[in-house]
Amino acid sequence: MASYTYLFDILKYTIAGVGVIYIAFYLFKPYMDKAQNLQALELRKAISNQTLPLRLQAYERTVLLIDRIDPANMLIRLNANAYSAAELYNMILNEVRTEYQHNVTQQIYVSSQAWAAVKRIKDDTVNLVTNTMQGLPPNATGLDMGKTILNHLATLENNPYELATAIVKKDMDQYFN
């Protein structure tokens, strides 16, 4: 009989101990959850502080890419007058592809909408130059090609390069508002 009493006492104390631990856990759980959420928030803030300069630099480089593949700027930089249309065509395509490949990693830090605008403007530039080249006579000069490209851009209601830059800038504004 004494052994049953002894086992019953052990069982009472065990159940009471488990009950106290259970109650303590549920009393302190909200505090532990809050501390964990604060720690996660601080970690996100630290990561954001580290990536913000990289994001801003990516937006800057993206705007620079758009500016560098703008035919109005590229034709001046490449000195279109000094080449035949075929040579200029190859130089422009090489320049556009090089600029794009040099900046392709910026898509990690910019939004998909901003990067889609960059990719679209790159593809449109390649198509514009290719279509212009196909419409020129075989003996055309680089000056002829440049004039044709610039005349085509002048007929557009909105400059696509300015529109792409505006999309990127608008996307970047989310970090300042």
- Determine how many CB atoms are found less than 10 A away from the CB of residue 13: 10
Query: Averaged over 173-177, what is the pLDDT?
Result: 78
Beta carbons of 152 and 128 less than 8 angstroms apart: yes
Q: pTM of the predicted model, to two decimals?
A: 0.74
Give exposure, 98-123, as e/b (b: 16+ Cβ within 10 Å). ebbeebeebbebbbeebbebbeebbe
Question: Which pLDDT score, from 0 to 100, does residue 54 have?
Answer: 87
What's the pLDDT tens digit per position in 79-120? 878 899 999 999 999 999 999 999 999 999 999 999 999 999
Q: Which of 153, 162, 101, 157 is nearest to 132 (CA)?
A: 153
Amino acid identity at 168: V
Looking at mean pLDDT, say which of 42-46, 73-77, 126-130, 171-175 comes out highest. 126-130
Distance CA 95, CA 100 (A): 8
Chain CA centroid to CA 24, Å? 47
What's the pLDDT tens digit per position in 135-174? 999 999 999 999 999 999 999 999 999 999 999 999 988 8
Q: Is the predicted pLDDT of residue 1 greater than 70, yes or no?
A: no
Place of tokens 């085509």: 152
Question: Which pLDDT score, from 0 to 100, does residue 40 have?
Answer: 77
Task: State phi, psi for 58 to the nearest 5 degrees.
Answer: -65, -40
Total count of residues recorded for the chain: 177
Q: According to the 3-state scheme, what is the secondary structure of 93-153?
A: HHHHHHHHHHHHHHHHCCCHHHHHHHHHHHHHHHHHHHHHHHHCCCCCEHHHHHHHHHHHH
Q: Who's near 106: CB < 8 A, 6+ residues apart?
A: 58, 61, 62, 65, 115
What's the pLDDT tens digit per position in 21-68? 888 888 888 888 888 888 878 877 776 677 788 888 999 999 999 999
Task: Measure the CA dihedral 131/136/139/145, to 10°.
Answer: -70
Q: Who's near 143: CB < 8 A, 6+ residues apart?
A: 80, 81
